[in-house]
Amino acid sequence: MEFINLFTPIFLCFLCFQFNVSFSDLAADREALIRFSSVVQGNTIRWNSSDPSPCSWTGVLCDNATNRVTGLRLPGARLAGEIPPNSIGNLTKLRRLSLRGNLLRGEILLDLENCSELRFIYLQNNRLSGEIPATFFRLSNLIRVDISSNNFSGEISASFNNLTRLTHLYLENNQFTGPIPDLSSEFSQFNVSMNNLNGRIPRRFANLSVNSFTGNQQLCGAPLSSCPNESESNKLSGGAIAGIVVGSALGSILIIASIFFLCRNCHKSRTSRQAVQDAASSIPPSPEKPPAYDFRSPDHILPTDHSGSDGGYSARPDNNDELTFFGEGGFLLDDLLRASAEMLGKGTVGTTYKAYLDNGGQVIVKRLKNVCVSKMEFTKKIVYLGKLYHENLLPIKGYYYGKEEKLLVFDFIPIGSLSSVLHGEERSQLTWEIRSRIALQIASAIEHLHSHNLCHGNIKSNNILLANGFQASVSESGLIQLVTSSTPNLSGYRAPEVIDTRIASREADVYGFGILLLELVTGKDPTVLMNEEGIDLPRWVQGVDESRWSSEVFDLNLLTNPNDEENIVRFLHVGIRCASQVPKRRSSMMEVVQRIKKICKD
Ligand SMILES: *[C@@H]1O[C@H](CO)[C@@H](O)[C@H](O)[C@H]1NC(C)=O
Ligand SMILES: *[C@@H]1O[C@H](CO)[C@@H](O)[C@H](O)[C@H]1NC(C)=O
Ligand SMILES: *[C@@H]1O[C@H](CO)[C@@H](O)[C@H](O)[C@H]1NC(C)=O
Ligand SMILES: *[C@@H]1O[C@H](CO)[C@@H](O)[C@H](O)[C@H]1NC(C)=O
Ligand SMILES: *[C@@H]1O[C@H](CO)[C@@H](O)[C@H](O)[C@H]1NC(C)=O
Ligand SMILES: *[C@@H]1O[C@H](CO)[C@@H](O)[C@H](O)[C@H]1NC(C)=O
Ligand SMILES: *[C@@H]1O[C@H](CO)[C@@H](O)[C@H](O)[C@H]1NC(C)=O
Ligand SMILES: *[C@@H]1O[C@H](CO)[C@@H](O)[C@H](O)[C@H]1NC(C)=O
């Protein structure tokens, strides 16, 4: 009894001390978050500052055992402004930080010095700047660091070697200078492209992809072109070195452009057609008069002049070696090869360029890679696709099937892809009215394909192009079935049952469309969600109670008119149904069109 009386107050006090400590730590985390949200604008305005605990706030993760904030994840939340001091850096138990795809500024790496538990840092696509400070290399638990596409500067320090757990390091698209240090970590991803680095690439990086280093004008050594050794480089003129550097940069970035370059050079002495053959297959040329072509009619695309060293039809392989057009506005392959081109993006089926023709026209050219069908099969499919008309399907304007190159030509669509608008700075222009109209247009286009016994095979927001007035055009219809694809099953749009993308099905199209609907409503990029958080968009939406959808799931830009809320929820239900795991449970595209029409009318 005495014993208990004596010790109880101490025991109680110990308890209350413990309680105070954990409470005040969480309170300090909360203070830090409030300091953060008071300066940066964006989704943090939804944080309810009257909550005593920050753990229920969007994007905030707590460990309820230690009662501390361990994660801050606000990717693409339109946060803008300079990260204030004593905010994120005060979350000393933080393990995962994702502020990817915002408009944040500041020197955040300096602030993180006391966040020694950090494992994952995703800060790509912001406007962050500053050097990587020495204190950063004390964060010895780091596993993945992505600070690409910012304005970080300074040298890449050899102290990265102190981060022994690091496996993924993305530094591309910044202003880093100096040489690449000899880093011994076992990187599974390493990217320093598009900086101002110089010097020799350390030997242990020699077997990494060229793509990890491109866009650094003064970097050399494997996997890039070899470094000029001392004596040689003294003899080479500055111009020659510049030539080599420019040559290799063109070679890897604008391949089409370098083919143009080749063709221009040989144009004077050779015919255009052979120049193309040369560029493609390096067969030595022989002089010949340029043949006349008729582009309007695919039946007459062979040269009318058969005199010449290649001996006319019979000796000519089945190569028509020209572009075939479906309608008006055709041009010669040579015109295309002479045009200047700008790469728009790389996708599953190949690389897309915008070409500026000499006559002032602009077209989109898709350079297909890994085409796995014969010329006959290719032509049959493209001709079938080319004849199909629907106002929301991007028509194929022309095609070319050469030995080396397989090209498709499309009209240029001014605004860009739905993905770039929806996940870009102009997303607020996409009101609910526009989004629902886009959804209906896409649905009708896919239904049109299905009703003609075709499947799209690769529905995603990247493949939806927007013209003026946000008129949607579905592109890449049926193309994925022509190529062998090596992309891993992580696209975020691919139906769970699809193993081989060449075997397209209507059900898989409906799944992809369902994801697209959810993307339109949430503004979330399903591929990023999949890669970064390992969860697909339907599960993410369904993980939130329906009563909280409007505050937690809807894209902020859709909250302007409360009357829309009910319809937006109905939309989400259509999307979830389309994206059922089991193909049989998915609606047909015809049903989807009917439902969306009804929702748009109500
Ligand atoms: C904010 O939190 C307080 C206390 O938890 C609650 O009473 C209030 O309704 C919340 N406000 C909003 C807008 O959710
Ligand atoms: C944390 O809280 C969740 C839900 O309240 C609970 O399921 C989980 O078991 C808790 N974890 C710990 C470590 O207490
Ligand atoms: C945040 O960190 C700074 C520097 O360590 C410290 O002075 C300050 O008290 C911290 N703020 C809070 C609210 O804990
Ligand atoms: C880290 O913690 C130390 C000691 O508490 C403090 O002096 C320093 O200001 C903190 N750094 C930052 C960036 O908050
Ligand atoms: C990295 O580790 C080395 C050797 O352990 C040490 O000398 C150096 O100070 C560390 N660098 C940083 C920035 O902590
Ligand atoms: C990037 O940082 C440099 C200094 O390192 C600065 O001069 C430049 O204005 C910054 N650019 C942007 C877009 O913030
Ligand atoms: C590079 O080579 C090392 C050993 O030489 C090997 O362990 C590693 O797997 C290779 N990496 C790639 C991407 O081939
Ligand atoms: C590295 O980044 C560049 C620029 O964003 C990108 O084009 C390239 O594909 C990346 N390389 C790798 C190996 O992922």
| pLDDT tens digits, one per residue of 302-312 | 222 222 222 22
Q: Which of 194-208, 440-454, 487-501, 513-527 has the lowest mean pLDDT?
A: 487-501
State the pLDDT at residue 72: 94
Nearest alpha carbon, ligand 3 atom 14 = 28
State the pLDDT at residue 103: 87
| Angle of helix 589-601 versus helix 432-451 axis, rounded to 10 | 150
Q: Which of 155-164, 547-556, 583-592 has the lowest mean pLDDT?
A: 547-556
Are 341 and 407 in contact by the 8 Å Cβ rule? The answer is no
Average pLDDT, whole number, for the chain? 78
Q: Does the Cβ of 86 fall within 6 Å of ligand 3?
A: yes
From residue 387, alpha-carbon distances to 129, 199, 327, 396, 452 in Å are 51, 53, 10, 9, 11
Ligand 5 atom showing the smallest separation from residue 135 Cα: 13
Q: Taking Cα atoms as reference points, which of 274, 218, 210 lies closest to residue 241?
A: 218
The answer to whether residues 312 and 429 belong to one domain is no
Nearest alpha carbon, ligand 2 atom 3 = 64
- Between β-strands 324-325 and 196-200, what pairing exists: parallel, antiparallel or unpaired? unpaired
The answer to whether residues 433 and 332 belong to one domain is no
Is the per-residue pLDDT at 485 higher than 60?
Answer: yes
Looking at the CA of 112, name the nearest ligand.
4
Looking at the CA of 140, name the nearest ligand.
5
State the pLDDT at residue 486: 56
Q: Is residue 354 in some structural domain?
A: yes
Tell me the CA–centroid distance for residue 61 and ligand 2, in Å. Answer: 12
The answer to whether residues 21 and 151 belong to one domain is yes
The answer to whether residues 381 and 451 belong to one domain is no
The answer to whether residues 14 and 105 belong to one domain is yes
CATH classification at residue 433: 1.10.510.10
The answer to whether residues 431 and 518 belong to one domain is yes
Q: Is 356 helix (H, G, I), strand (E, B) or coil?
A: strand
Is the per-residue pLDDT at 19 higher than 50?
Answer: no
The answer to whether residues 402 and 526 belong to one domain is no
Q: Is residue 397 in some structural domain?
A: yes
CATH classification at residue 106: 3.80.10.10
CATH classification at residue 341: 3.30.200.20
Q: Is residue 299 in some structural domain?
A: no
Work out the average pLDDT over 425-453. Answer: 93
Q: In whole angstroms, give the CA distance from residue 45 to residue 33.
A: 11
The answer to whether residues 331 and 393 belong to one domain is yes
Q: In whole angstroms, give the CA distance from residue 540 to residue 538.
A: 5
Q: Does the Cβ of 212 fall within 6 Å of ligand 8?
A: yes
State the pLDDT at residue 352: 87
**Residue ending a domain, choose from 170, 192, 220:** 220
**Residue ending a domain, choose from 191, 220, 249:** 220
Q: Taking Cα atoms as reference points, which of 365, 359, 319, 354 lies closest to residue 335?
A: 359
For residue 127, list its beta bridge partners.
105
Q: Is residue 595 in some structural domain?
A: yes
SS3 per-residue string spanning 254-323 = CHHHHHHHHHHHHHCCCCHHHHHHHHHHCCCCCCCCCCCCCCCCHHHCCCCCCCCCCCHHHHCCCCCCCC
The answer to whether residues 386 and 473 belong to one domain is no
The answer to whether residues 196 and 106 belong to one domain is yes
Q: How confident is the model at residue 402 (pLDDT cuts 50, 70, 90)?
A: confident
Q: In whole angstroms, give the CA distance from residue 245 to residue 261.
A: 15
Q: Give the domain extent around 104.
A: 2-220
Q: Is residue 65 in some structural domain?
A: yes
Tell me the CA–centroid distance for residue 86 and ligand 3, in Å. Answer: 6
Q: Taking Cα atoms as reference points, which of 228, 160, 226 lies closest to residue 192?
A: 160
Q: Output 51-55 pairs: Cβ under 8 A, ≥24 positions apart.
A: 53/26, 54/26, 54/29, 54/30, 55/26
Tell me the CA–centroid distance for residue 466 and ligand 8, in Å. Answer: 26
pTM, two decimal places: 0.50
Tell me the CA–centroid distance for residue 567 and ligand 1, in Å. Answer: 26
Q: Taking Cα atoms as reference points, which of 474, 465, 554 lies closest to residue 512?
A: 474
Looking at the CA of 135, name the nearest ligand.
5
Tell me the CA–centroid distance for residue 189 and ligand 8, in Å. Answer: 10
Q: Does the Cβ of 453 fall within 6 Å of ligand 2?
A: no
- pLDDT single digits (tens) 244-287: 233 333 333 333 443 333 333 323 333 333 333 333 332 222 22
Q: Is residue 572 in some structural domain?
A: yes
Q: Which residues contact 17 (CB under 8 A, 6 or more apart)?
A: none
Ligand 1 atom showing the smallest separation from residue 50 Cα: 2
**Residue ending a domain, choose from 394, 411, 428:** 411
What phi and psi, each to the nearest 5 degrees, are found at residue 283? -80, 135
Tell me the CA–centroid distance for residue 48 and ligand 1, in Å. Answer: 6
State the pLDDT at residue 226: 84
Question: In this predicted model, which residue has the larger pLDDT, 593 or 547?
Answer: 593
Q: Which of 121-125, 223-227, 417-421 has the lowest mean pLDDT?
A: 223-227
Q: Does the Cβ of 195 fall within 6 Å of ligand 8?
A: no
Nearest alpha carbon, ligand 6 atom 6 = 151
Is the per-residue pLDDT at 403 higher than 90?
Answer: no
Q: Which of 71-75, 308-312, 349-353 has the lowest mean pLDDT?
A: 308-312
DSSP assignment of 320-337, as one string?
A: --S-EESSS----HHHHH
Count of structural domains within the chain: 3
Q: Is residue 502 in some structural domain?
A: yes
| Angle of helix 506-522 versus helix 565-578 axis, rounded to 10 | 150
Q: Is residue 242 in some structural domain?
A: no
- Tokens representing 221? 């050594």
For residue 411, list its beta bridge partners.
363
Tell me the CA–centroid distance for residue 26 and ligand 1, in Å. Answer: 19
The answer to whether residues 102 and 147 belong to one domain is yes
Q: In whole angstroms, give the CA distance from residue 142 to residue 172.
A: 18
Q: In whole angstroms, give the CA distance from residue 86 to residue 316.
A: 73
What phi and psi, each to the nearest 5 degrees, are found at residue 378? -60, -50
* Residues across the chain: 602
Q: Does the Cβ of 89 fall within 6 Å of ligand 4?
A: yes
The answer to whether residues 334 and 424 belong to one domain is no
